[in-house]
Amino acid sequence: MTIWDVLRDKGLSIATAESCTGGLVSHLITNVPGSSDYYRGGVIAYTNEVKEAILHVPREIIEEMGAVSGACAMAMAEGVRNLLRSDIGIATTGIAGPTGGTPDKPVGLVYIALATKDNVYHERYIFHEDREGNKARAAEAALEMLRRHILSIRGS
């Protein structure tokens, strides 16, 4: 049984908010036949203005911690979950490269968050690929995070 089968069997829906992956997570989800049974949609929030206006990421988070932060990823995941009325929200934000990195936030730094009605959490990654590779690794990590979450609720 796949995670997609579990989502379908439990009647759960997912939505995505993507920055550094630019829609790649959504693409991977919608490549699965029947994904409309559980996938509500996504927002590509590439700019801070879109993160604030559409996903309701508080400006203070962006100003104090930055758009590439765990707090921002969690706010994005909660925002898309609420916006699209899904059971699960998944978000990615990071620095795909090859430019944009700093000593504190290097190229390849990615935060991925998952939000449900009861919980929101994030994971931090640093990938060491080129731009395309960093995006691919981040999208794969987001789906792996979803897989682990689904497996944790599978028996409930």
Give the residue ranges of DSSP H helices in 48-127: 48-53, 59-64, 70-83
CATH number of the domain where residue 146 is located = 3.90.950.20
pTM assigned to the model:
0.97
pLDDT in tens, the chain (156 residues): 899 999 999 999 999 999 999 999 999 999 999 999 999 999 999 999 999 999 999 999 999 999 999 999 999 999 999 999 999 999 999 999 999 999 999 999 999 999 999 999 999 999 999 999 999 999 999 999 999 999 898 765
Range of the domain at 41: 3-153
Q: What is the pLDDT of residue 155?
A: 64
Task: Give me the number of domains the chain comprises.
Answer: 1
Residues sharing a CB contact under 8 Å with residue 74, sequence separation 6 or more, in sequence order: 91, 113, 115, 120, 121, 122
